[in-house]
Chain A
C-alpha cells in the first residue's frame, strides 16, 4: 500500500487499537519523554505502547544530553483523555524514564518536522512543482532533468498539505523525520 494515500490519523486502523473510542473524543497529544540513553530503552517505550494498545502517530528519538547520557523521545499519540493520562502514568513509572512532559497541555509549544519529497515530472507539472515549492519555502536539495528532491520543514499539517499538492504533480516518494517539539518561552 502506498503510505501516501493514508489520511492523517489513520493509525486508528492499527491492529492494537481495540478500544471503544466512540464514547469519548480522541485527542492528539505530543509527549516529550526524557530517558536514559541505554540499550533497549526505545524498545521499552515502544513495547509499552504496543503491549497496552496505545497509538503512536509519530516518534523521534536522539541523544540530547551527552553529559548525563539522556535521550529525548518525542511521541505524538492519539487517545481519549483518560487513555492519554494513563499513557503518561505508564511512561512515568518506567525506571529508565526521567521525565514526561505533555507539550499539548503544558502551555504553548513549537512542533517541527522535516520532510524530503521526491517529485518526478516534466513540462508544466515540473514547473508547477517548483513554483509550489517556493510558496512553501521548500528548498531543492537534489535535481535531475526529470526529478526534484525538495526539503521542507514545518508543522506536520504543512507537510501534509505540501504532499497533497505534490501528489498530482508526480510525487513518488516521501521521507519524514517525525515530530520534534519543544515548549515555548523560558
Chain B
C-alpha cells in the first residue's frame, strides 16, 4: 500500500483555478509520487472536484502548471491524456445510462483491447456485472453503476486513476467492496487520487491525505496523522464562512 518513490507522477505548481472569474483553488502546490494513493478530503465547496478537473485537464488553470511524469501538460487536450492512461471517474458515476453494460465496456476498446478482453477483465473483478451484461446501465443500482464506472477505468489499464466521491449515495458495504478493488488496482502500480468528504471511507487504502479548505491545502500528511486534525480544520473553515 505504501508504495512511494521519488518519481512524481503528478505535480501541481502554484495552480490557481476557478470558473467565470471566481477563483476556487488558490496557489496549490502538490506532488504525488508514482504509486501513491492520495486522498483529497474537505467539506463541500472546498475545491476538491475542481482540483480533479485540473488534474484531468478538463479545467485549464488561471495560473501555475500541471506536470505529469515530469512533463508540463498545462492546457493539454483531456482526450489525449485519457487515451494515454489518465482516467477520471467523475462524481455521479459517468456511465452511459442508455447503453447496456457490455456496450459501456466496449467503449473502452480504444486503447487496443478487444471487446472480449475488456469484458473478461471487468467481469473477473465484478462478476455481478457479468450477470447484467445485457441490462441498460441506467437500470442498474447505484453500486452496480459505480462498479461499471470503475471497471471501465480498470480495463483501460490506467497509469493514473482519479476518483471523485466514489462513495456518494452508496451503502457502506458497497463502498468497502469498491475501495477494495481500488486498493487492488493501486497495488499494480497505478497512482490514485481519490476525492472524498469523509476520511473513514478511504483510511483503509490511502497512503496520504490532504485537506482542502477554502481552495487551499490546510493539512498534508499520512492519513493517520491528519485524521485527528480534520474536525478542527473543518470547523474552523465553517466558522470563517459564517
- Our verdict on whether A and B bind, yes or no, reads no
By a beta-carbon cutoff of 8 Å, the part of chain A in contact with chain B is none
By a beta-carbon cutoff of 8 Å, the part of chain B in contact with chain A is none
